[in-house]
Amino acid sequence: MKRTNYSSSMPLTPTHNLSVRELEVLKLMAEGQSNSEIAAHLYLSHNTIKTHVRGIFNKLGVDHRVQAAVVAFRQGLI
């Protein structure tokens, strides 16, 4: 039997409940867009985007954008 080693402490099963808007923001974050660029793209305020980003981090259990993108790709969210 082959043993599988996971080098990350990130969960492998979905542990989120992201809104449609948070998924939009997450996709744009993963593309490398800044909060200001996301705000302009979605016609929202910079503060609204910051709120969405904070919610995404909380729901995914991560601390920064790169971690959020990795979790999103691994879980097939984007």
Residue 78's pLDDT band, with cuts at 50, 70 and 90, is confident
- Residue 68 to residue 44: CA distance in whole angstroms: 21
CATH of 20-74 among 1.10.1740.10, 1.10.150.120, 1.10.10.10, 2.40.50.1020: 1.10.10.10
CB 26 within 8 A of CB 64: no
**Residue 21 vs residue 3, higher pLDDT:** 21
CB 10 within 8 A of CB 70: yes
The per-residue pLDDT for range 44-64, each reduced to its tens digit, is 999 999 999 999 999 999 999
